[in-house]
Amino acid sequence: MNFKTLVLCFFVAAIFWLLHALNKSGYTTKINYPLEIIYDDSRYIPTTPLPKTIRVSLSSTGWNLLKDNLSLNDSPLLYEVEHPESERQLNATVLSEKLSAKLKDSKINYIVTDTFALNFEKKYIKKVMLKVDSLGVDLEKNFVISSLITVVPAEIVVEGPASALKAYQDTFYLKIPAKNLAINFDDKISIPLPKNPLVKTSANQATVSFEVAELLK
């Protein structure tokens, strides 16, 4: 028997052994199954990251467990949070039932529950007026602001959970970056509101314009 024939025999034997082994039951493994949380995002906002997977222990034949692992990129398990303000964690029983319906050929042993926390708050909208502190504008000596100060937009809308919106005042004063100003001002400046990933703002810049004149001696 030559070397190539020997290698082929070993390869075929290995395939048959693998197929036979995969047909046996009693295998157990843990997988991370994709999860999508459904909630009314027009009224509520999660204040902590929502779980995107659940870790589950499965038992079945080798073939079924292999199939379950290969199907992890299929549609995620959908879990609806009906009462975001009062539900503080995912329901393991509901998850198990939903997952059993998806993985019909495998037995759900248990679901790891260490990432089940839910934290939602109602979503609120607040209007913030934008103004410029005229006394804080750095003007050249003997120069004054000689017109009304125009700010566009005059107000912005901030949206987020109530706990985060406490950091936003009703009026925000913009700072003019120019120094020793001796000409009319018309430029966009940033609106350095407090940074919070849970808060959305309708604008991050405003156009400020006003005229400057020299006092007569």
- Give the torsion through C-alpha atoms of 21, 26, 31, 34, to 10 deg: 100
Tell me the CA distances in angstroms from 44 to 85, 126, 178, 198, one per residue in order.
8, 15, 41, 11
- What confidence category does residue 27 fall into, taking pLDDT thresholds of 50, 70 and 90? low
Query: Mean pLDDT over residues 33-43, rounded?
Result: 92
Determine the 3-state secondary structure of 70 from DSSP.
Answer: helix
Q: What is the three-state SS of 157-173? A: EEEEEHHHHCCCCCEEE
- In sign, the C-alpha dihedral spanning 6, 12, 15, 16 is negative
Q: What is the pLDDT of residues 158-182, one digit of tens each?
A: 999 989 999 899 999 999 999 999 9
The two three-digit tokens of residue 192, written as one number: 């350095």
What stretches of 8-64 adopt beta strand conformation (E)? 27-38, 44-46, 53-60
Tell me the CA distances in angstroms from 9 to 3, 13, 18, 22, one per residue in order.
10, 6, 14, 20
Query: What residues pair up with 171 in beta bridges, in sequence order?
Result: 129
Query: Mean pLDDT over residues 20-37, rounded?
Result: 68
Q: Please tell me the pTM assigned to this model.
A: 0.68
Determine the 3-state secondary structure of 28 from DSSP.
Answer: strand
